[in-house]
Amino acid sequence: MGAMIAVPDRVWAWGKDGHEVVGKIADKFLSPEAKKAIDEILKDDQFQTIGDTRLTSWADFIRGSAVLKRKYPNNDKFHYLDIDVECDLATYDLEKAAAEGENALKALRRFRKTLIDREAPLQDRREALFFICHIVGDLHQPLHCSERTADKGGNLVQTLVPGQPGKVNLHKVWDTVMVLRDIGPLTVPDYTTKLLEEMTPESKTADQKGKIEDWMLDSHRVCRESVYKGVAKAAQTGEPHQYKEEDLKAGATVARRQLAKGGLRLAAYLNEAFKE
C-alpha cells in the first residue's frame, strides 16, 4: 500500500519545486547498492524514484494526516534545528542541541536506522526514506538551520519583495521566491539538467565531503553570510525589510547552490547508509 497523502495548509522549505530538484539530482548520483535497495523498498509503491515530487514533498503533505500524526507525533519539528545565527560555532554543541526535543538531526538518525533495518516493516522503511529525502533537502534551506533573536527561522521577519503582493516573511522568501526566480521559465526537469551541467568533478567531490552535521553548519554559515545579511533586526517587529532586484538576483544564486548541494548530499547520505 502506498503512503497516505493529505493536502497541506501551507508550504514549507524549498516548496514543492525545490524539493523535487533535490530529489532528481540525488537520483542521478545513487550508488548501484543504494539504487538497488531503494528500488526494492519502493517496489509496488506509488512512488517509483526519489526524484518523484510526491515523494520528496510527502513529509510536508502528511502534516494534515491525523493517522500519521499519531504515528509520528511532533513531525512538524522534524524539518529543522534552530541554531542562533550569532552564536560562536567554535563552542556550539550541536549534539546537546539535537538531544533537546524533536528536531531534524534526531529525526534523520532515527529514520536512517529504520531505513537500513531489513527486519522493519516495509511501509516503515518507505516512510523513513520519504522523511530522509525531505529532511536532507530541508536542511539546505539555510533558515532550517538558523534563527536570529527567536524569529522562528525568519518566519517572524516581514519583507517586501518586488513583484510580490503584500508582505512576505523572510522564510517564505527563501522557501519559494528565490527558487522560483532562479528557475524562471524552465520546467523543473530542465532546471535540474541545468544544475547538473554546471557541476564539475571537483565541485561534486567538494560538496559531498563531510557528514550531515557538517552540512547543517555549512547551511548555518550561508544563512549568516547571505540570508540575514542586510536584513535589520528591526524587521522582526518593525518596518518590513525592502528587497531590491539585485538582492533577489544574489539570493537566487545562493539558493541554486544550496539546491545542488542538497541533491549531491542526499545521494551521499543514502549511499553511505546502504554500504552497511
Domain boundaries, the chain: 1-276
pLDDT at 158: 96
**Residue 45 CB neighbour total at 10 angstroms:** 17
pLDDT score of 63: 86
Q: For 60-112, how does the pLDDT look when each residue is reduced to its tens digit (9 = 90+)?
A: 999 889 999 999 999 999 999 999 999 999 899 999 999 999 999 999 999 99
If you average pLDDT over residues 24-46, what whole number do you get? Answer: 96
pLDDT digits 0-9 by tens, 140-165? 999 999 999 999 999 999 999 999 99
SS3 track for the chain: CCCCCCCCCCCCCCHHHHHHHHHHHHHHCCCHHHHHHHHHHHCCCCCCCCCCHHHHCHHHHHHHCHHHHHHCCCHHHHHCCCCECCCCCCCCCHHHHHHCCCCHHHHHHHHHHHHHCCCCCHHHHHHHHHHHHHHHHHCCCHHHCCECCCCCCCCCCEEECCCCCCEEEHHHHHHHHHHHHHHCCCCHHHHHHHHHHHCCHHHHHHHCCCCHHHHHHHHHHHHHHHHCCCCCHHHHCCCCEECCHHHHHHHHHHHHHHHHHHHHHHHHHHHHHCCC
pLDDT of residue 49: 96
CATH fold for domain 1-276: P1 Nuclease (1.10.575)
What's the confidence (pLDDT) of residue 162?
Answer: 94
Mean pLDDT of 42-59: 94
> What percentage of the chain exceeds 70 in pLDDT?
95
